Chain A
Amino acid sequence: MNGQYSTGLSTPTTASLDDLGPVGTMLREHGRAKLSGLLRISGSPGGTVFLRDGLVVAASTPASPGPESLLLRSGRVSEEAWNLAFTAGAPSGHLAAELVAQSAIGTAGLEVVCLSAIFDAVFAMELFGVETCEPETTGPHGLLPPLPVLPGITTDRLVRDLSRRMAMTAAWQEIGVYPQCRPVAIRPLPESSLQVEKIRQDVLLKCNGRRTPRDIAFVLGQGLYVVMQEIASLAEAGLLEPSLPGAPKKVSAEDPTKPPGLPQRRRGTSKVGKALPQRPDRPTIEPRIPPDLTVRPEENPET
């Protein structure tokens, strides 16, 4: 590969920014209609966008990590602080205030995470594909997911950002980085103390050929877009292979060489004694096979 970071990280042309995808079109339409409610977006996997007076206050989808995953998985907020704040604040809708009150995270830091979760969710829905969209009016007091951004983001701002991100991903597809790819690390990165390098390093370490960019985003508690950007850049640098077509998937099984058949319960067959951590005060359970079973005649399929 020549020219590190060339493809995929260039500025998209203005023509591609004017091309609204299905999610962008729906957002703009219902934003202008000042909807207070939600948009149920069906797709693979689709998601939900919550609006108040035409402003987007929250968005959730299985395709990108929400605020809770971003805060907890990345270690920005501790499990204990989250539990305390959730118990105290979630029923009354004051989770954000409780998190800040407990000094778990600063107001600005929290807002950045919640905002980026919305941008990321909208991007993820568009990227993974959308079939239909059903608006539902709930009024200004409808139930919202935890950690909404109030008063909300204008749909124009969201749509602008969405177009920019979609134009970027179109460039990444050319080098094989797409939402369903399962990248494999080829070479490790040299050690670095820079924070930016740390995310790169973390992403590369999770590229084991099983995980999609979305799976890595959840494991690390980072946005889908950020993770895809890192994967594209790592692929450009030749540190990973974006996808291996027809790669053998990791198999673990009783014993694939044996003839098929359900395993039978005999002492030690489960191998649980070997899999569990050994304790010095407990003897390991070894299979005790009765004498009449120690020599089993070989099954010959031809007879």
Chain B
Amino acid sequence: MAHDALLSELHSLRDQVTGVMESAVATVDGLLVVADTDGAQPEVVSALAAATLGLGKRTGHEVGMGELREVVIRCRGGYIVVYAVGQVALLAVLADEGLDVTRLHIESRPAVERLGALLTKEHSAN
């Protein structure tokens, strides 16, 4: 089932990248698809991540910096990183302040690709 495949992608991201605590996949309009969360409320994270991604894309476009890579929010207690997954979805990653940022950048690209492939399969199957 694609749901399990999506979830195992999120689990392996948490296993591979030191500092990743929680993550969620949502549609670009902020509806939760699947989440590997602990304390965060996945529906709220999905909705806010969609708004964050939209704002990031728009800002990047406005100042002419090209295509969006990801939106990174840094707080005292950690990071919130939002990636676009194709045209239909997004990946939100919550991490603590010790996050291995370099590793996340390396691991997240292929993870986003795989998530995109799984979601497109689902989308076209519908």
List the interface of chain A (C-beta within 8 A of B): 44-45, 61-66, 68-69, 72-73, 79, 128, 180, 208, 210, 214-215, 218-219, 249-254, 256, 260-265, 269-272, 274-276
Q: Closest Cβ of chain A: how far from B50's Cβ, in Å? A: 9
Supply 4 further A-B pairs (C-beta < 8 A) apart from A253-B7, A262-B122, A274-B43: A69-B98, A265-B31, A270-B31, A270-B32
A270/B46 contact (C-beta < 8 A), A218-B98, A265-B31 known: yes
Of B33-41, B53-61, B62-70, B108-116, the one touching chain A: B33-41
Digitize B80-107: 1 where CB-to-A-CB distance is under 8 Å, 0 elsewhere: 0000000011000000111110010000
Query: Residues of A contacting B88 with CB < 8 Å?
Result: 262
Q: Closest Cβ of chain B: how far from A215's Cβ, in Å? A: 7
State A256–B1 Cα separation when bound (angstroms). 10
Query: Residues of A contacting B123 with CB < 8 Å?
Result: 261-262
Interface centre among A63, A208, A260, A265 (most CB of B within 10 A): A260
Query: Residues of A contacting B29 with CB < 8 Å?
Result: 265
Query: Is A256 a contact of B76 with CB atoms below 8 Å?
Result: no
Query: Is A62 a contact of B19 with CB atoms below 8 Å?
Result: yes
Q: Closest Cβ of chain B: how far from A51's Cβ, in Å? A: 22
Query: Is A252 a contact of B18 with CB atoms below 8 Å?
Result: no
Query: Residues of B contacting A69 with CB < 8 Å?
Result: 97-98
Q: Which residue from chain A places its CB closest to the CB of B102 in the assembled complex?
A: A45
State A270–B29 Cα separation when bound (angstroms). 10
Q: Closest Cβ of chain B: how far from A212's Cβ, in Å? A: 9
Q: Which residue from chain A places its CB closest to the CB of B20 in the assembled complex?
A: A215
Query: Residues of A contacting B46 with CB < 8 Å?
Result: 270
Query: Residues of B contacting A254 with CB < 8 Å?
Result: 31-34
Query: Residues of A contacting B34 with CB < 8 Å?
Result: 251, 253-254
Interface residues of B in 9-56 (CB under 8 A from A): 11, 15, 18-19, 21, 27, 29-38, 41-44, 46-47
Q: List 22 A-B contacts (CB under 8 A).
A: A62-B100, A64-B98, A68-B97, A79-B76, A215-B21, A218-B19, A218-B97, A218-B98, A219-B96, A249-B7, A249-B36, A250-B38, A251-B7, A253-B34, A254-B31, A261-B126, A263-B27, A263-B31, A263-B32, A272-B44, A272-B47, A276-B44
Query: Residues of A contacting B2 with CB < 8 Å?
Result: 260
Query: Residues of B contacting A61 with CB < 8 Å?
Result: 98
Q: Does B3 contact A (CB under 8 A)?
A: yes
State A232–B3 Cα separation when bound (angstroms). 36
